[in-house]
Structure 1
Amino acid sequence: MAKPVITLNGLKLVIMLGMLVIILTGIRFAADIIVPFILALFIAVILNPLVQRMERLRLPRVVAITLLISVIVLGMVLLLAYLGTSLNELTRTLPQYRSSLAVPLQQLEPWLQRAGIGVSVEELLKYIDPNAAMSLVTGLLAQLSNAMSAIFLLLLTVVFMLLEVPQLPAKLQPLMSRPAEGMGAIQRAVDSVSRYLVLKTAISIITGLVVWGMLAALGVRFAFIWGLLAFALNYIPNIGSVLAALPPIAQVLVFNGFYDALIVLGGYLLVNLVFGNILEPRVMGRGLGLSTLVVFLSLIFWGWLLGPVGMLLSVPLTIIVKIALEQTEGGRSIALLLSDTGAR
């Protein structure tokens, strides 16, 4: 009986897959250390073009970085103070939700019974516990106060990264076997990620401001919180805008009724249509080179590996992986699978 023969290529593939599993497992277990570093790295990528513009105005790099970080710290202090006040008000309001929720449920009960779904409003209200939501918001407030030290360390890391940028090419070139190609790939990755993050940040800020203004004009309470949520979740591709719309629509449904909730839903659909389907594709173009399926799968993968920050940064992280794969002979076929070439 002939024994199976393991080829050299098959053995290499098994070893590489084993190493990949070990590396991914290590990254997941060390996520508490890796995530702040990755977040600081991407913040530095966003801020570096601003620092370079300030340098063109004859400002020393140290002064430019100091001014920029000072403005960011001041803005964050004001933002966190206002956010803390809004969350405190939300905590005081939560006990009203249980009694207010009875009205829309009673209006919905005949519709459900006509559809053959037997639902008792009294039984449903027994399962609604506002204390759980209050505990969640209280936990958020505690994390907000504890986050100040983490934010300080994060910004300090960003400062050192920005100071190190001019020396990086001279340090990286001796480590590469082909410096010209290697530096070209790094520059291409930095340019792609920087362009994506800067444009995405600008569009997210505008989206958050528009949502805040829209909800404030409609008289929706906690409009600032929902605008901030729309800004943050807009970084998450495909599903971020949907997740950002759910809490304010649910709030309006409970406190204001079905028709007001429909108006808010229409406003969110209009914002997502204008910014997500018209403005963002026109501004960003098709320069990312990733297929739609890969963008969605990368959201799941990086979210599993790095948590919420991985979901926020799933697209730039995948761009970096794709460009890195393009530099190796064996990785080019995988990079081709990640690209949107077949869609053109």
Structure 2
Amino acid sequence: MKNNLFIIYIASFVLVAAGLKAASAVVLPFLIAIFLAIIVSPLIDKLVVIKIPRILAFLIVVGAIFTSLGLIGSVVIKTINGLLTHLPELQVKFKAFSDELAIYALNYNLDVTPFMQSDLDPNKIFSTLTAFLKGSTEIVGKGFFIFLLVTFMLFEKHIFVQKVEYFETKNPQTKGMVDTFTSNLKRYLAIKFLASIATGMIVFIGLEIIGVAYAPLWGVVAFVLNFIPTIGSVVAALPALLVAILLNDISTAFYTFVLYVVVNITIGNFIEPKFLGKGLGISTLVVLLSLLFWGYLFGLGGAFLAIPLTMSLKIALDANPNTKFIAVLLSDKVEK
């Protein structure tokens, strides 16, 4: 009987995952809107407390967000335009650098030519970068639709609260689940946002001092990719290191590498865990697997939402005695 139940769980999981992937164009904006509404809602509530009408409080918060994004976007676009003008030069220099590296390796009887022609092919690298930018553009392109979803969610917040109270009469665990989810999500995103800002600012200032080109862009990239756990900060360092090698020299690239290592170790391994405390109860292995899983389902957006989505899934599974064992598998500890 238990084996049959386990098979049913696996089959249901596969069907749900396939459905989510097929409907990702609709599901992803909806999920982003939910998380944004949860983040923005407390800011609006604080303005309402000081006697500002809710509609005006909403416009103030949204206006501040869009103004900040506009300022950052203008800097990024200006920097990207400058980068695009030097793209042919970068490709030529990268080809020369890879050839020199292959010759250097041959002195030690290492033939890295196949690796250079496949994994380090300039056309492949820059096409991957283009695909990444395209994925980011698709998310931004749905911004207006997401904005409408967030607007209606915020205006129907009181109705949602009433629905939670109703379901609590049917299942006493409902309110606890919702409160746990929202409090953990707000805490995680607030700390992650502040840590990402600190990461981006330090990277930008450090690269400016070192003399790496397009430092504002790499600072924004470090800020954005820091939201992707574990691998985001590593990926953010690669383009800056590549530009430092091609447009500067090895010593500049070394200082750039040291800067990223120090920033990521200090903020990612000490400051973030200190403020997160016990964290969200998800094991490190599950974090990595969640990046692969949600990234497969929703692409780049899934990678950014991997932790909140996995946390939501864990809370839901933990509430049901029949699926609690799955929540234990996702957890970073076992409560006896």
- Would you call these one fold, judging by a TM-score over 0.5? yes
Alpha-carbon distance, 1:62 to partner: 1.7
Contact 1:94-1:133 within 8 A present in 2 as well: no
Letter paired with 1:152: F
Identify which range, 46-55 or 34-43, moves more after superposition: 46-55
1:287 matches 2:279: yes
- 1:288–1:139: structure 2 CA closer, same or farther, 3 Å change rule? closer
Counterparts of 1:223-262 in structure 2, within 5 Å, are 223-262=215-254
Alpha-carbon distance, 1:188 to partner: 0.9
Q: Give the equivalent residue in structure 2 for 1:188.
A: 180
Alpha-carbon distance, 1:233 to partner: 0.9
Structure 2: runs of 5+ lacking an equivalent: none
Q: Give the equivalent residue in structure 1 for 2:17.
A: 24
Q: C-alpha separation between the residues in 1 aligned to 2:291 and 2:128?
A: 29
- 1:191–1:141: structure 2 CA closer, same or farther, 3 Å change rule? closer
Q: Give the equivalent residue in structure 2 for 1:303.
A: 295
- 1:136–1:207: structure 2 CA closer, same or farther, 3 Å change rule? closer
Contact 1:95-1:131 within 8 A present in 2 as well: no
Structure 1: runs of 5+ lacking an equivalent: 1-6
Contact 1:104-1:258 within 8 A present in 2 as well: no
1:198 matches 2:190: yes
Identify which range, 151-160 or 111-120, moves more after superposition: 111-120
Letter paired with 1:117: L
Alpha-carbon distance, 1:250 to partner: 0.8
Aligned residues with identical type, % of pairs: 31
Q: Give the equivalent residue in structure 1 for 2:161.
A: 169
1:44 matches 2:37: yes
Alpha-carbon distance, 1:240 to partner: 0.9
Alpha-carbon distance, 1:107 to partner: 5.3
Counterparts of 1:60-209 in structure 2, within 5 Å, are 60-101=53-94, 104-105=97-98, 108-109=101-102, 111-118=104-111, 133=126, 137=130, 140=133, 144=137, 150-175=142-167, 178-209=170-201
1:55 matches 2:51: no
Q: C-alpha separation between the residues in 1 aligned to 2:299 and 2:165?
A: 33
1:216 matches 2:196: no
Q: C-alpha separation between the residues in 1 aligned to 2:16 and 2:165?
A: 25
SS of the aligned residue for 1:95 comes to: helix
SS of the aligned residue for 1:315 comes to: helix
Deviations 1:117-168 (A, max 9, x none): 2467xx97xx955698389659948974x76652122122212212222221
- 1:139–1:211: structure 2 CA closer, same or farther, 3 Å change rule? closer
Q: Give the equivalent residue in structure 2 for 1:314.
A: 306
- 1:90–1:343: structure 2 CA closer, same or farther, 3 Å change rule? farther
- 1:83–1:16: structure 2 CA closer, same or farther, 3 Å change rule? same
Alpha-carbon distance, 1:101 to partner: 3.2
Alpha-carbon distance, 1:37 to partner: 0.8
Q: Give the equivalent residue in structure 1 for 2:7.
A: 14
Q: C-alpha separation between the residues in 2 aligned to 1:161 and 1:243?
A: 34
Contact 2:136-2:300 within 8 A present in 1 as well: no
Deviations 1:231-261 (A, max 9, x none): 1111111111111001100111111121110
Contact 1:40-1:155 within 8 A present in 2 as well: yes
Contact 2:139-2:301 within 8 A present in 1 as well: no
Among candidates 328, 331, 335, match of residue 339 of structure 1: 331
Count residues in correspondence. 334
Alpha-carbon distance, 1:110 to partner: 5.2
Bigger Cα Rg: 1
Q: C-alpha separation between the residues in 1 aligned to 2:128 and 2:238?
A: 20
| TM-score of the aligned structures, taking structure 2 as reference length | 0.89
Contact 1:97-1:130 within 8 A present in 2 as well: no
Alpha-carbon distance, 1:331 to partner: 1.5
